[in-house]
Structure 1
Amino acid sequence: MRRELGMSLVLVVMCAGLWISNPDFLGQSNVVNTTRQISMLGIYALGMGLVIITGGIDLSIGSVIGLTGVLIAKLSSSGMGCLGYPLWFGIPVALAAAVLVGLLQGLLITRLKLQPFVVTLGGMLLIRGVSQAVAEGGTLSFGDSPFLGLANGGLLRVGRDAVIPYPLVIFLAVLAVGAYVLHFTVLGRYMYALGGNRDAAEYSGIDVTRVEVATYVLSSTLAGIAGVCYASYIGQMSQQVGIGYELYAIAAAVLGGCSLRGGEGSVVGIVVGSAIMRVIDNGINMFQVRYSDGGIARIWRLNPNWTFIIIGAVILAAVVFDQVVHVVQEKRRTRRAGAPAPPDPRPVEAPPAAGAG
């Protein structure tokens, strides 16, 4: 937990700095919206974290998020070109499609021994193409559907905003299940074993194929749940929704302590990583420096065009830090293995004299 505690301290320092820079950072509206964004990112970042822990990668989750929203809009919206079925039909169908994507990708990776990077990269493009075909290259709007209240509503309403947005409730439920599966079940131990040493896990009797398929199904399912939240939050869907989301998920997981080599990571760390990513995103808009120019008070703000520069730098820094940590740990293990054994503190007894009875 040392790395998680360190990143938590970084998060606290970032929030304190942004609050000092701009007191509106801790305003009710900004806190609620940032919490909502952290929750939606955290849902699918948890799925990405599970895959990374097993030593894999899932580049298709952004497209799955988009496909889920497009299917819900196509099936349950009353707009032009939509079918107008009730939400209790559209949402389960969209989630079933997400589960199917994870199952198919997991089987391709395990049965045909294909590289996860290649399979999920192809899946990312294929699924995005399906979304474009379903939306017919346009945008599907939910109009004034009650579905919009899922992401924009919440509990304990104070003024215009709900203090506890519904995505946070969903996120907490997903976290509880994810923490239980990863840290308190046999499946979770198998995930760590698979990421730590695949051959050793297979030789020890673990059904590696089943564990790996289950991981990709969980990742795609969580992306589908996040897609439901994003569709409700945005209010309209197209094939553009979800582009680049997988990069945010990878960054959140790596910042939270998930090693790209596999075998390391925790649910707490993924939560912290997700919070850091969204605080950075929000901080680019909120950070400001007040100064005086010839007696005139002015405010300097970060250029919004720097968003991807900053986020890209954070991702690179996280990967470099992960590499440095592993190099240092490897050198320590090598030194310990080569160090001479400590002397035995017990006194050496003299051999008995010849002829002694």
Structure 2
Amino acid sequence: MRRELGMSLVLVLMCAGLYISNPDFLGQSNVVNTTRQIAMLGIYAMGMGLVIITGGIDLSIGSVVGLTGVLIAKISSPGMGCLGYPLWFGVTVALAAAVLVGLAQGLLITRLKLQPFVVTLGGMLVVRGVSQTVAEGGTLSFGNSPFLRLANDGLLHVGGNALIPYPVVIFLVVLGAGAYVLHFTVLGRYMYALGGNREAAEYSGIDVTRVEVATYVISSAAGGIAGVCYASYIGQMSQQVGIGYELYAIAAAVLGGCSLRGGEGGALGILIGSAIMRVIDNGINMFQVRYSDGGVRRIWRLDPNWTFIIIGSVILVAVVFDQVVHIVQEQRRARRAGDARLAGPRPAESPPAAGAG
């Protein structure tokens, strides 16, 4: 919990600094759009977090986000080259495809004992290739489909604009479901056990294969749900959508306390990590410094080309911090174990002599 509190403080300080730099940061339009972006990232970051907690990795989740949107556009968009089926049918097929991707990867990892990194890396490329084939290397537009209202409409309208976009509502449902699974179900306990010590989990009678497959299915399903939101938000889909999204998900999960070693993390931390990632992304565009140059008022802004430099640095800092925390914890355990050995067992009290008293 201390780590979540620390990251929350970092998030508050970042927001305060950005507001001082540019008061428009807390303007209604920017706050609504930022919360929408946090929600869409948080949906698939939750799936990534579950996989990381079990000691795995899912590099295909960004491609699953893109594939979901492409399939919805191809099946249900009224545009040229699309099939024009009802929207519910397109969403159902797209989500089913996302689940199948997770199931296939989970079975490859568990049945053939393959490395998750290799399987999901291959899955990332295959799924992206499927998206490119479906889109025929082009862009599929939703036009004026009512589907676009999913991301751009919401609750509590003020001035004709929704203060709470529907993706935020969806994310809160996913967040609540993830928190419930992790902290209040047997499956959640098994996930932590699997990530903490796989061999011990197997010897304790846990069906490791079923838990691991379920985790990858949930991760891909979360990617599919996020893909529905992104498709509605962007309004047009191509194979380019989803590229690099897996890095944002990994960074959000690690910043939120999910150790890449497995066995650690929680839903609240993933929410905080997602918020930090999107505030950084938004802050690159919003941050500014006003100064005077020869009596002329000027504004200095961050170069948008620095985006990946900053995001990559954040990922490295998070991983280094995670490693340092584990080193300190191991040293504390070793010190406590050494102190316990030096103290030794307490001498047992001798029984009273016979006939005493």
**Equivalent in the alignment of 1:24:** 24
User: Would the aligned equivalents of 1:150 and 1:167 in 2 still touch at CA under 8 Å?
Assistant: yes
Q: Contact 1:55/1:195 (CA < 8 Å) preserved in 2?
A: yes
User: 1: distance between equivalents of 2:30 and 2:352?
Assistant: 80
- Displacement of 1:292 in angstroms is 1.1
Identity of aligned residues (%): 85
Q: Which amino acid aligns with 2:25?
A: F
| Count of residue correspondences | 356
| Greater CA drift, 159-168 or 48-57 | 159-168
1:209-238 deviation digits (Å, cap 9, x = unpaired): 000000000000000000000000000000
In 2, Cα distance between the equivalents of 1:235 and 1:349?
A: 82
User: What pairs with 1:137-156 in structure 2 (closer than 5 Å)?
Assistant: 137-156=137-156
Structure 1 residue 258 displacement after superposition: 0.2
Q: Deviations over 1:17-64 (max 9, x none)?
A: 000111000000000000000000000000000000000000000000
Question: What corresponds to 1:7 in structure 2?
Answer: 7
**Residue 161 of structure 1: CA displacement?**
2.1
Alignment partner, residue 283 of structure 2? 283
Match of 2:216 in 1: 216
Quote the residue 1:271 is aligned against.
271
Matches within 5 A, 1:151-166: 151-166=151-166
Does residue 63 (structure 1) correspond to residue 63 (structure 2)? The answer is yes
Residue number in structure 2 paired with 1:40: 40
Deviations along 1:276-329, one digit per CA (max 9) or x if unpaired, are 000000000000111111111111111111111000000000000000000111
After TM superposition, the score normalised by the length of structure 1 is: 0.97
Equivalent residue letter for 2:28 = Q
Counterparts of 1:105 and 1:347 in 2: how far apart (Å)? 57
- Corresponding residue SS for 2:94: helix
Partner residue of 2:305? 305
Q: CA deviation at 1:160?
A: 3.9
SS in 2 for 1:66: helix
Q: Deviations over 1:188-215 (max 9, x none)?
A: 0000000000000000000000000000
Deviation at 1:131, TM superposition (A): 0.4
Is the aligned partner of 1:108 residue 2:119?
A: no
Partner of 2:181: 181
1:296 maps to what in 2? 296
Q: Secondary structure at the match of 1:79?
A: coil
Query: Which amino acid in structure 2 is aligned with residue 263 of structure 1?
Result: G
Look up the match of 1:254: 254
Aligned-pair CA distance for 1:335: 1.0
The CA deviation string for residues 49-103 of structure 1, in whole angstroms up to 9 with x for no partner, is 0000000000000000000000000000011110000101100010000000000
The question of whether the paired residues in 2 share the 8 Å contact of 1:40 and 1:226 is answered with yes
**Structure 1: 5+ residue stretches without partners:** none
Distance in 1 between residues matched to 2:192 and 2:348, nearest whole Å:
44
Measured against aligned partners, the alpha-carbon deviations of 1:95-119 in whole angstroms (never above 9, x if no partner) come to: 0000000001000000000000000
Q: TM-score scaled to structure 2, two decimals?
A: 0.97
* In structure 1, distance between residues paired with 2:133 and 2:294: 58
Which residue is equivalent to 2:92?
92
The verdict on how the C-alpha distance between 1:356 and 1:300 changes in structure 2, with shifts beyond 3 A counting, is closer
- CA shift for structure 1 position 349: 6.4
Distance 2:66 2:272 in 1: 25
Most deviating of 156-165 and 21-30: 156-165
The SS at the match of 2:269 is: helix
Q: Distance in 1 between matches of 2:5 and 2:74?
A: 44
Distance 1:111 1:347 in 2: 53
Q: Could you tell which deviates more after superposition, 344-353 or 22-31? A: 344-353
SS of match in other structure, 1:55: coil
Other structure's SS at 1:88 match: helix
Aligned residue number for residue 228 of structure 2: 228
Matches of 1:95 and 1:122, distance apart in 2: 20
* Secondary structure of 2:164's aligned partner: strand
The alpha-carbon distance between structure 1 residues 83 and 324, as it changes in their structure 2 partners (threshold 3 A), is same
Query: Residue 143 of structure 2 aligns to a residue in which SS?
Result: coil
Report the Cα distance in structure 1 between the residues aligned to 2:152 and 2:351, rounded to whole angstroms.
83
Q: Shift in Å at residue 350 of structure 1? A: 10
Q: Which residue of 2 aligns with 1:172?
A: 172
Letter in 2 for 1:17: G
Over the aligned positions, Cα root-mean-square deviation in angstroms equals: 1.8
Aligned residue in 2 for 1:335: 335
Aligned partners of 2:161, 2:27: CA distance in 1, in Å? 11
**Aligned partners of 1:32 and 1:161 also within 8 Å:** no
Distance 1:342 1:152, change over 3 A: same
Deviations 1:132-171 (A, max 9, x none): 0000010000000000010011111112421000000000
Paired residues for 1:107-126 under 5 Å: 107-126=107-126
Partner of 2:204: 204
Q: C-alpha distance in 1, partners of 2:221/2:91?
A: 12
